[in-house]
């Protein structure tokens, strides 16, 4: 479940996300992001996000490219913000055996969020083949 709250104030627009940025919930966050006013500073508060799957991660990258500023809390969310590495690069690094702290943190986050989802099984299966 994801709770998304919009705050449209005179100084800027803020999207507060709490819960799982995963699955169909990512589409709701994406819908809200698409409706954000272009002329105002846009802030996305991620302090309440407990996990993000591949789609959620892609949405965060798109938001970043489109000028969002992030408010983060927790080690993993800070690592994701400070190291804007595309998900594809993380998947390639994981499959090639890279075990850097960022790659491990992201894979752990995906596992925590998605359990035994198709994306996690695909990543794990491809890594074993390598």
Q: Is the pLDDT of residue 7 over 80?
A: yes
The CATH number covering residue 54 comes to 3.30.750.24
pLDDT at position 88: 47
Q: Is the pLDDT of residue 15 over 90?
A: yes
State the residue range of the domain holding 21: 2-129
Spatial strand order of the sheet with 2-9 comes to 2-9, 12-21, 42-52, 69-71
Q: Is the pLDDT of residue 47 over 70?
A: yes
Structural domain count of the chain: 1
In this prediction, residues 87-110 reach a mean pLDDT of 60
Task: Using only the alpha carbons of the chain, give its radius of gyration.
Answer: 15
Q: Is the pLDDT of residue 101 over 60?
A: yes
């Amino acid at each position: 479940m994801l709770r998304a709250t919009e705050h449209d104030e005179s100084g800027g627009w803020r999207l507060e996300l709490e819960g799982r940025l995963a699955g169909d919930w990512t589409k709701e966050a994406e819908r809200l992001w698409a409706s954000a006013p272009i002329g105002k500073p846009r802030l996305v508060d991620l302090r309440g996000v407990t996990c993000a799957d591949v789609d959620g991660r892609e949405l965060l990258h798109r938001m970043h490219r489109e000028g969002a500023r992030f408010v983060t809390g927790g080690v993993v969310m800070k690592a994701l913000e400070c190291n804007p590495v595309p998900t594809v690069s993380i998947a390639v690094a994981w499959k090639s055996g890279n075990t850097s702290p960022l790659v491990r943190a992201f894979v752990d986050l995906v596992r925590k969020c998605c359990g035994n989802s198709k994306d996690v099984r695909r990543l794990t299966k491809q890594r074993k083949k390598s």
